Structure 1
Amino acid sequence: MAKEKRVYTCTACGAQSSKWAGQCGDCGEWNCIEESVAQAKIGGDKAARFQGYAGESKVQSLSDIQPQQESRSPIGISELDRVLGGGLVRGSVVLIGGDPGIGKSTILQQAMAALGKTLKTLYITGEESLQQVSMRAHRLGLSHVDIGLLSETRVERILSIAQKEKPQVMVIDSIQTVYTDMLQSAPGSVAQVRESAAQLVRFAKQTGTALFLVGHVTKEGTLAGPRVLEHMVDTVLYFEGDSSSPYRVIRAVKNRFGAVNELGVFAMTEDGLREVANPSAIFLSRHAEDVPGSVVMVTREGTRPLLVEVQALVAESHLANPRRVALGLDAQRLSMLLALLHRHGGIAMYDQDVFVNAVGGVRINETGADLALILAILSSHRDRPLPKEWIIFGEVGLAGEIRPVQGGQERLKEAAKHGYTRAIVPKANAPKKPIEGMEVQGVSRLSEVLDSVWD
């Protein structure tokens, strides 16, 4: 028997080499090289069976191609439509990932039920039996909706049935369970995921079928499989949520047809996922009285302004290295803000433990939380609360300047709508026309803020 040839594949970018190495030479990632058996190529008709679904390809001049308006099909679930950019685009490929049991299959089954009223749908499951899918449909009250179901994991068989059925929307649950005859490796391997996804994406683009792919995530929370998978699709959605909380958040980290970092908020109920009409309400504690260490800010997720409560707890440390813990916020930025507070405010925290948290399990990735975080830390340290009707946001630079943030007017209007009467914001974000019921103070230096808040 011929000796098996071994190859080493990078799980991040899919690059292959003949020798193992600690770092991938193509993408630079560490500890991502896996050993596998080299697969013989399958030639002839089998390799080219599904290469063209729209006839022979030909070169066209750019000037001869007339731009067309994207044809969107609203799903009917407004929070999901918001994340997708206004609806589902014909021929688009959407990759949705999240922790096990967070609700990926549930939201897709609800979406297919809503789309099934006007479009032909096909739900392909590789992880569950058709009986299990039917049981979930009965639990969600969707048993009366006509959804095409198929239990299959072989890509060639899936595409053959899809060519006959001609669905307008198709779901693959999940991409890690399907495999192609072109390779002999196990389903879920880097090569299988990459090649299976490539065939499905090619089919979607050439036939105009909107395609949803469900992806597993690693223990770090990133999508499993080769990193190239995220580059192949049009939209990447992450399902986020705390197992102890009924709320779920869908975040768009890539979208060729809409805003990036757009947010959709849902609540998990016995009847499935339900939209949250006022997301700001779940991220606010609404204390009966003023509380030290609590500040409300307005963050911006995509095109939506959201009110979020930032909490801080400062306590005397008995450790050689005081603890710095940040939940929902950037820990490295917390250390930088503490250094800024020492340099420009004369307040040292080298002997204090500092804990900060964004209420409701939301993740704040923007720098507009800097000013609110500093004042929350200072409020806890001095045990002096800020008035609960105040709203604060702004980026703080290393020189102590307060920088403007994007969408300042929309943030202030959102805060005024929820009854906040005073705002401390960067001077460049102060409105030219007064906002009814709100007093806005524009600031340009951190020292100016520290002097005016508790004067």
Structure 2
Amino acid sequence: MKAKSSTKTVFYCSECGNETAKWMGQCPACGAWNTLVEAPKELKMALGTRAKRIAQPKLISELDAEEELRFSTGIGEFDRVLGGGAVRGSLVLVGGAPGIGKSTLLLQLCGRISEQETILYVSGEESQRQLKMRAQRLGVDHGSIYVLAETDLNIVLSTIDDLQPTVLIVDSIQTMYDAETASTPGSISQVRECTMRIMRSAKDSGYTAFVVGHINKEGSIAGPKVLEHMVDCVLYFEGDQSMSYRILRAAKNRFGSTNEIGVFEMEDSGLREVTNPSEMLLSGRPTNTPGTCVVGVMEGSRTVLAEVQALVTPSGYSGARRNANGIDYNRAMLLLAVLEKRAGFSLSSCDAYINVVGGLRLDEPATDLAVILAIASSYKDLPVGSDLAAVGEVGLSGEIRSVSHLNQRLSEIARLGFQRCIIPAHVRDDVQKQNGLQTIPVKNIREALKAVFGA
């Protein structure tokens, strides 16, 4: 009789990390379909043994309430996204598409802080020689930067105990493996276990860990969703590889806002900070061209001017085509319906395409009025004017509603040389006068269209 294998297998959900004994089409925890994968079960603590209790519970009134210790990364845009700098003892997960510049960003970070910090750069994908060649190209060849080309997590943690670094960089977490976990490197259980051990080491020793994570085809961090819950910050490095600009944004941040973005430009010598994203996003904007309008949006604590483009053309098919890039598709369809119902535009037989220039994604309602004007401009084939911007939320009855931080938006619009801006009428008394900027208050989209295109 053939002996049964002692290795037991379980099924993990690749989205939430839930564990089940048998395969199911739908995960019972998160409801995702076809996400359960089979993997060997990790070794468990022997029955009857108990871990020694080290930590003691304390009253919340007795806890130390001092502000967390931060240090500057030397990269202003990176500090902005982190909430004012990196926090000691935190674990930061940096995700992005292959070749987008994650390793370049972290290697440049090493060069900026190498004089003040002791850094251990763990490379699981490149050899030490390859890393040295890239560092020379970026001008990072000095300071306390130690490089370890290793994938065994136990060796990495042993090196950390010996070196006592203040900053750890792991590139990438998918290449690390724990010999005590009976599964292949890159599997769900390995990624989860390696991240957990690095997190505990960072919390106990007080160093800051930056961990690179690959993304899957859906655009989220590869591995179980629980990975994002374990870390303190989740940063996404985004951008089109065919374009030079990159955007760093926070999807989770326990120490700051998740609304801030950092903008970089990829050059031959590495990433360059873009301290004024508005000028970058509006560079090359055509003048007096139909189908375009500028809006001021809030990205965390600063205002960014973005260009909204629209193309409306008679459809050659039985059903009109719709496409939206950079804004929510359903929101775009709602604005098309409002424009057709409240302004009398015949859009049902037209193809409509909406795009936000520069790779930004605009989620706030303040962009509604600019989208409406861009669509109307393309439909009428009349430009809104290169000196005009628009800020306002559009309701289902066509009314223009107020938005937050209006004076801050108008200040940035005036700084970049715009002469006119359409705003909601009922907040005209709260608007501070800006030099060279004329504000045009409107109550609904009909008044807005009349103010821009005339009768």
Distance, in Å, in 1 between the alignment partners of 2:323 and 2:43 is 51
> Shift of the alpha carbon at 1:287?
4.5
Distance, in Å, in 2 between the alignment partners of 1:210 and 1:162 is 12
Which structure 2 residue ranges, 5 or more long, are not aligned? none
Q: Which one-letter code corresponds to 2:215 in the other structure?
A: V
> Shift of the alpha carbon at 1:261?
2.5
User: What is the aligned partner in structure 2 of residue 218 from structure 1?
Assistant: 216
Distance, in Å, in 1 between the alignment partners of 2:401 and 2:165 is 50
User: What is the aligned partner in structure 2 of residue 6 from structure 1?
Assistant: 9
User: What is the aligned partner in structure 2 of residue 129 from structure 1?
Assistant: 127
> Shift of the alpha carbon at 1:400?
2.3
Instruction: Output aligned runs, 1:128-277, within 5 Å.
Output: 128-277=126-275
Distance, in Å, in 1 between the alignment partners of 2:266 and 2:286 is 27
Which structure 1 residue ranges, 5 or more long, are not aligned? none
Determine whether 1:397 maps to 2:395.
yes
> Shift of the alpha carbon at 1:119?
1.1
Distance, in Å, in 2 between the alignment partners of 1:187 and 1:428 is 60
Q: Which moved more, 1:323-332 or 1:84-93?
A: 323-332
User: What is the aligned partner in structure 1 of residue 296 from structure 2?
Assistant: 298
Secondary structure at the counterpart of residue 176 of structure 1: helix
Secondary structure at the counterpart of residue 125 of structure 2: coil
Instruction: Output aligned runs, 1:290-439, within 5 Å.
Output: 290-427=288-425, 430=428, 431-439=430-438
Q: Which one-letter code corresponds to 1:63 in the other structure?
A: S
> Shift of the alpha carbon at 1:42?
5.9
Q: 1:244 to 1:188 in 2, by over 3 A?
A: same
> Shift of the alpha carbon at 1:77?
0.9
Secondary structure at the counterpart of residue 117 of structure 1: coil
> Shift of the alpha carbon at 1:313?
0.8
Identity of aligned residues (%): 45
Distance, in Å, in 2 between the alignment partners of 1:403 and 1:319 is 36
Q: Which moved more, 1:228-237 or 1:13-22?
A: 13-22
User: What is the aligned partner in structure 2 of residue 109 from structure 1?
Assistant: 107
Distance, in Å, in 1 between the alignment partners of 2:46 and 2:181 is 11
Secondary structure at the counterpart of residue 360 of structure 1: coil
User: What is the aligned partner in structure 2 of residue 29 from structure 1?
Assistant: 32
Secondary structure at the counterpart of residue 373 of structure 1: helix
Distance, in Å, in 2 between the alignment partners of 1:401 and 1:260 is 30
Distance, in Å, in 1 between the alignment partners of 2:225 and 2:426 is 39
Distance, in Å, in 1 between the alignment partners of 2:432 and 2:323 is 40
Distance, in Å, in 2 between the alignment partners of 1:432 and 1:331 is 31
**Length-normalised TM-score, structure 2:** 0.94
User: What is the aligned partner in structure 1 of residue 447 from structure 2?
Assistant: 448
1:22-43 per-position Cα deviation (integer Å, ceiling 9, x unaligned): 2111111122111223344365
Q: Which one-letter code corresponds to 2:14 in the other structure?
A: T
Q: Which one-letter code corresponds to 1:448 in the other structure?
A: E
Contact 1:409–1:429, Cα closer than 8 Å, also in 2: no
Distance, in Å, in 2 between the alignment partners of 1:339 and 1:345 is 10
Q: 1:100 to 1:429 in 2, by over 3 A?
A: farther
Q: Which moved more, 1:217-226 or 1:418-427?
A: 418-427
Q: 1:241 to 1:424 in 2, by over 3 A?
A: same
Contact 1:263–1:304, Cα closer than 8 Å, also in 2: no
Distance, in Å, in 1 between the alignment partners of 2:326 and 2:286 is 24
Secondary structure at the counterpart of residue 238 of structure 2: strand
Q: 1:185 to 1:394 in 2, by over 3 A?
A: same
Q: Which moved more, 1:33-42 or 1:237-246?
A: 33-42
Q: Which one-letter code corresponds to 2:439 in the other structure?
A: V
Secondary structure at the counterpart of residue 295 of structure 2: strand
Distance, in Å, in 2 between the alignment partners of 1:288 and 1:212 is 41
Q: Which moved more, 1:341-350 or 1:121-130?
A: 341-350
Q: Which moved more, 1:107-116 or 1:365-374?
A: 365-374
Picking from 93, 96, 109, the partner of 1:95 is: 93
Distance, in Å, in 2 between the alignment partners of 1:43 and 1:35 is 23
1:98-138 per-position Cα deviation (integer Å, ceiling 9, x unaligned): 01011000010110111111011111111111111101001
Secondary structure at the counterpart of residue 121 of structure 2: strand
Q: 1:130 to 1:287 in 2, by over 3 A?
A: closer
Q: 1:39 to 1:231 in 2, by over 3 A?
A: closer
Q: 1:443 to 1:206 in 2, by over 3 A?
A: farther
Q: Which one-letter code corresponds to 2:18 in the other structure?
A: A
Distance, in Å, in 2 between the alignment partners of 1:185 and 1:298 is 50
Q: Which moved more, 1:356-365 or 1:425-434?
A: 425-434
User: What is the aligned partner in structure 2 of residue 18 from structure 1?
Assistant: 21
> Shift of the alpha carbon at 1:146?
3.2
Secondary structure at the counterpart of residue 371 of structure 2: helix
> Shift of the alpha carbon at 1:363?
1.9
> Shift of the alpha carbon at 1:86?
1.1
How many pairs are equivalent? 449
Distance, in Å, in 2 between the alignment partners of 1:288 and 1:310 is 12
Q: 1:310 to 1:236 in 2, by over 3 A?
A: same
Contact 2:117–2:144, Cα closer than 8 Å, also in 1: no
Contact 1:239–1:251, Cα closer than 8 Å, also in 2: yes
> Shift of the alpha carbon at 1:441?
2.2
Distance, in Å, in 2 between the alignment partners of 1:429 and 1:88 is 39
1:189-243 per-position Cα deviation (integer Å, ceiling 9, x unaligned): 1111111111111111122111101000011211110111111111111111111
Contact 2:168–2:209, Cα closer than 8 Å, also in 1: yes
Distance, in Å, in 1 between the alignment partners of 2:162 and 2:8 is 39
User: What is the aligned partner in structure 2 of residue 64 from structure 1?
Assistant: 62
> Shift of the alpha carbon at 1:435?
1.7
1:152-202 per-position Cα deviation (integer Å, ceiling 9, x unaligned): 222222112112211111111111111113311011111111111111111
Distance, in Å, in 1 between the alignment partners of 2:415 and 2:35 is 49
Distance, in Å, in 1 between the alignment partners of 2:199 and 2:401 is 42
Distance, in Å, in 1 between the alignment partners of 2:396 and 2:366 is 14
> Shift of the alpha carbon at 1:427?
3.5
Contact 2:407–2:431, Cα closer than 8 Å, also in 1: no
User: What is the aligned partner in structure 2 of residue 38 from structure 1?
Assistant: 41
Q: 1:186 to 1:242 in 2, by over 3 A?
A: same
Contact 2:249–2:261, Cα closer than 8 Å, also in 1: yes
Q: What is the RMSD of the two structures over their aligned residues, measured on CA atoms?
A: 1.9
Distance, in Å, in 2 between the alignment partners of 1:285 and 1:141 is 29
